[in-house]
Structure 1
Amino acid sequence: MSKYCEVKKITVNHLKKMKKDGEKIACLTAYDYTSAKLVDAAGVDLVLVGDSLGMVINGYENTLYVTLDEIIYHTKAVKRGLKRAFLVADMPFGTYHISEEEAIKNCVRVIKESGAEAVKLEGGKNVASLIKKLVDRGINVMGHIGLMPQYVHSMGGYKIQGREGDERLIEDALALEEAGVFAIVLEGVVAEVSKKITETVKVPTIGIGAGKDCDGQILVFHDVFGMFDDFVPKFVKRYADVKSVILDGGKKYIEEVKNGIFPSKEHSFFRG
């Protein structure tokens, strides 16, 4: 058993030390109190309230529609369900793109109002200056490079990164490390490049569709448990089929209501 299983509360220092110790970091997304409580009890190390909530919770076409208020609302709910896991909140598209002054204000608001212990920003060298300013103000920042959903239009779709070389991605990773990030998400990056980045930087790398050599892995809650099938990426592995359980239970409930079986005496109240 990992010694980190006994840690009552994961901090940014634990995550950094896990890389040094060769301990893989298990991460999942969560968007509400109940799911947060479940993944925390399972022993996940880090929970991300991702802007993926726009798609799996709100049914948006992509993540670009997610607002700051939505992230804060969902992060507050997740916070109440966590005891052990480290909590990170995504900064939505548009909340750190206009000016560094506005970006700092928005990040401070997320930390102050939601209870998140860190924020996550997409981008490499282009956001390094902002990240340094955030870190200097006491805000933990997680980086995110590779396939960046908030750049879906400028990237021409959800395209795997690193197939044509690794120089740009490594430069971005080093720029983020120098700026002070405590970890870097590598999304949709070919495995060979992810391995090289992981060996190059001293901060943990968290992969999603980036191979097994990252320091940790993260997946979306609804993908892992088979609850969302509008689109299932190649890198997703389903560990449960919760959708089928819910459908079966729902059909049974409807049948019993229609046939007058539910509620029975044991589910009803009487005088005396």
Structure 2
Amino acid sequence: MDQLVRNGLTITWLNGGVTHMDGGAMFGVVPKPLWSKKYPHNEANQIELRTDPMLIQKDGYNIVIDAGIGKGRLTEKQKRNYGVFEESSIEESLSRLKLSREDIDFVLMTHMHFDHATGLVRGTVDKESSFFSHAVVYTSEIEWNEMRSPNIRSKNTYWEMNWKSIQAQVKTFEQEVEVIPGVKLIHTGGHSDGHCIVIIEHQEETFIHMADIMPTHAHKNPLWVLAYDDYPMTSIHAKEKWHSFAKEKDAYYLFYHDYKYRAVKWNKDGEIVDSLIKTT
């Protein structure tokens, strides 16, 4: 498994499955001749998007960022539509680390769209239960409210089957929450009204996970936002704000969706000076 290791901090990417989504939708108004130079696509114009949760191990805590697409949770039609050729094997990933799903203390949900939240629950209809049964699940209050009462657009991705079994574990917040010292979940809006990012600060280093306002390294340009974004101008402003923060802190960017990179550090000229490339 791919890991970023520091003294007292380990970030491990778990196998949460993979989707293949329309490249045009993922890059919005950006013309294909531009985005296709930065991110590969298949003959159906789909791009590979991993859904790999990050396990943060720090100060004796086990913290997971987002939950993958689950196993046995999607219908055959959904798997075809979302290009799912591989489902989650998070239990196997944890087992390799001598951990179980019951060892997870916190789950930080950047947002609750199906490709981030379906792995929160295990089993099928009438036999569903919480996957991370001992964890506190954090999400923004705005996101949690919309998850349970989606609108005509968002009901396609906020599914009842992904929240009913975990509702007793959920804690919400308004602007930000520091789950443990140095690990924050911060509300940004943009991709969804309740969308959040994650900041990790550890021994003079900073790591930032922009979640779906910057799902891949190819979305670094603040103007390259998704057609899926509910509030694209909010995404643009949030990216500008947090890019400035990352530049000031010389931060690493962490990715949940990227087909190639797990982590990237850019210099002030926009050149990649360090990275962790997906190997598993």
TM-score range, shorter chain: 0.3 to 0.5
TM-score normalised by L of structure 1: 0.34
Where is the strand percentage greater, Structure 1 or Structure 2? 2
Higher-Rg structure is 1
TM-score normalised by L of structure 2: 0.33
Where is the helix percentage greater, Structure 1 or Structure 2? 1
Q: Which has the higher contact order (CA 8 A, sep 6+)?
A: 2
